[in-house]
Amino acid sequence: MIRWFAPASIGLFMLGASFMVVFALSPLLNFLIGVSTWFPLPTDENPLYAMLRDPPAVVAPTTGPAAEMQIPIVVDDPIAPADGSIWFNAKSERLQLQIGETRYEQPMAKAATQQFVQPLFSIAEYLGFVTNLALAFGLGFQIPLVVIFLIRVGLISAKKMAESRKYVILGISIAAAVLTPSPDVGTMMMLAVPMALLFEIGLFVGRRFERVAVSEVE
């Protein structure tokens, strides 16, 4: 059994990871990043924001040279900016500040496209999320081997397992929720649905094993 199950397990793991990359990763990322667009910037027209926020602070108007400061708008960054220079690059849409030999920059967004919630993630977080998701799908795709193994060794019959399908589907849903790294329902369903289909495939193969075993005994 090990001679057959070990290659099959590796193949199913690779199939699960590949399924995640090809079919699940892009829609999942689009959904998670798109959630931030559900929360617009606070406005006076929204009573919820008006109730939650603090009253605006009273600021005295600024007079003098500071009130007349203008930031130059350029297309290309200056070659040798002076210490303390600040400018806006219209091409890259970044506000830049030169302090000594160090240049600081801040990406800017148009006021019409700003959001109350901004998605921020690093390369390490992205790679960790994708790796954990690939592991979850790889482990989830092992379910047909588990079904075939239980039937093959005689711990449970294929008929008994088919009768317990609703409990198996419940267990698959719980396992998908535990294995996936994000708590959203979309990720869980992307894993639970293939696991349910693979359970049916394992049950089908398990029935064939039972028939072969019965014919050998007879």
What's the token pair of residue 82? Answer: 């002076």
Mean pLDDT (the chain) is 83
DSSP alpha helices (H): ranges in 20-116? 25-34, 47-52
pLDDT digits (tens, 9 = 90+) for 171-215: 999 998 888 877 778 788 889 999 999 999 999 998 888 887 767
Assess whether pLDDT exceeds 90 at residue 58: no
Average pLDDT over residues 120-143: 90
Tokens of 136: 């979850």
Of 139, 164, 144, which Cα lies nearest the Cα of 206?
A: 144
| Residue 96 near residue 77 (C-beta atoms within 8 A) | yes
Residue 188 · residue 133 · CB < 8 Å: no
Mean pLDDT of 8-24: 93
> Quick check: 195 and 175 in contact, CB under 8 A?
yes
Share of the chain above pLDDT 70, in %: 81
* Position with higher pLDDT, 175 vs 109: 175
* 115 has a pLDDT exceeding 90: no
pTM, rounded to two decimals: 0.65
- Select the more confidently predicted residue: 213 or 26: 26
The CA distance from 5 to 202, in Å, is 13
Measured from the Cβ of residue 209, the count of other Cβ atoms closer than 10 Å reads 14
In the predicted structure, residue 143 carries a pLDDT above the cut 70: yes
Q: For residues 147, 150, 156 and 162, what is the CA-based torsion angle, rounded to 10 degrees?
A: 0
Lowest-pLDDT choice from 21-25, 56-60, 72-76: 56-60
**pLDDT digits 0-9 by tens, 39-53:** 666 666 666 666 666
At 7, is the pLDDT very low, low, confident or very high (cuts 50, 70, 90)? very high
Q: Tokens representing 194?
A: 């293939």
